[in-house]
């Protein structure tokens, strides 16, 4: 049986909750699935508005090196993050984008690209600030790396009690969108390019 080892980078700008999103994913594996994870983070010159990124490694075995050089999965929530980190995505890697904030002119060969309007889905819940948890739900659905229940527990364990219900709703919204997209892709095997429910594959 193959043992899992995945290197993930999440990036955007300060204020989008990049670090919390990474922490939730790592916590789901290490605490609620009894596996292993590491997380490292980096900020730009400004805490809010500057660049922000986090590296997460998920593994079934102890992790010997906590840094990501070439990610298996890249989650980007800003154009700057895409420009900076897309060249470091492994061949055949998975790219997840916030579709209203990231534009891709030329799709890299071999990459699977999934897009979600996370900000708009968060705004539907009345709080734009939970777009990061919408992204976590979407990530869970399209990668299928972690049990949805473990991710939900990690979300509930990572936010203030007063915001648990809101964040779980955000997770569910992203997860359901991702599941619907994957079903669409399964039923449309010729689909390629940037995959989204809102637009035809580009």
34-53 confidence digits (pLDDT tens): 899 999 987 655 455 668 99
Distance CA 50, CA 6 (A): 27
Q: Decide yes or no: CATH 3.40.190.10 for domain 5-192.
A: no
Could you tell me the pLDDT band of residue 69, with boundaries at 50, 70 and 90? Answer: confident
Instruction: Find the helix or strand (DSSP H, E) in which 76 lies.
Output: strand 71-76
Residue bearing tokens 């061949």 = 91
Residue bearing tokens 């400004």 = 46
Look up residue 143 and give its DSSP letter. Answer: H
Q: What pTM was computed for the model?
A: 0.92
What digits encode the pLDDT tens for the residues 103-161? 997 777 788 999 999 999 999 999 999 999 999 999 999 999 999 999 999 999 999 99
Residue bearing tokens 């990474």 = 22
Could you tell me the pLDDT band of residue 165, with boundaries at 50, 70 and 90? Answer: very high
Tokens standing for residue 102: 């990231």
Give the domain ranges of the chain.
5-192
């Amino acid at each position: 049986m193959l043992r899992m080892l995945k290197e993930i980078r999440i990036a955007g700008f300060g204020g989008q909750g990049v670090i919390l999103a990474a922490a939730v994913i790592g916590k789901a594996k290490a605490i609620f699935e009894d596996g292993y994870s590491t997380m490292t983070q980096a900020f730009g010159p400004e805490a809010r508005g500057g660049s922000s990124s986090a590296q997460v490694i998920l593994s079934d075995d102890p992790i010997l090196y906590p840094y990501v050089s070439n990610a298996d999965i890249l989650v980007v929530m800003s154009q700057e993050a895409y420009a900076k980190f897309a060249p470091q995505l492994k061949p055949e890697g998975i790219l997840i984008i916030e579709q209203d904030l990231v534009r891709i002119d030329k799709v890299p060969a071999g990459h699977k690209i999934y897009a979600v309007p996370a900000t708009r889905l968060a705004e539907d819940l009345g709080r734009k600030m939970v777009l990061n948890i919408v992204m976590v739900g979407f990530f869970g659905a399209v990668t299928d790396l972690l049990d949805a229940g473990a991710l939900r527990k990690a979300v509930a364990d990572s936010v203030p009690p007063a915001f648990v219900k809101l964040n779980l709703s955000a997770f569910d919204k992203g997860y359901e969108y991702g599941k619907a997209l994957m079903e669409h892709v399964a039923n449309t095997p010729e689909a390629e390019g940037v995959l989204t429910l809102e637009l035809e594959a580009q």
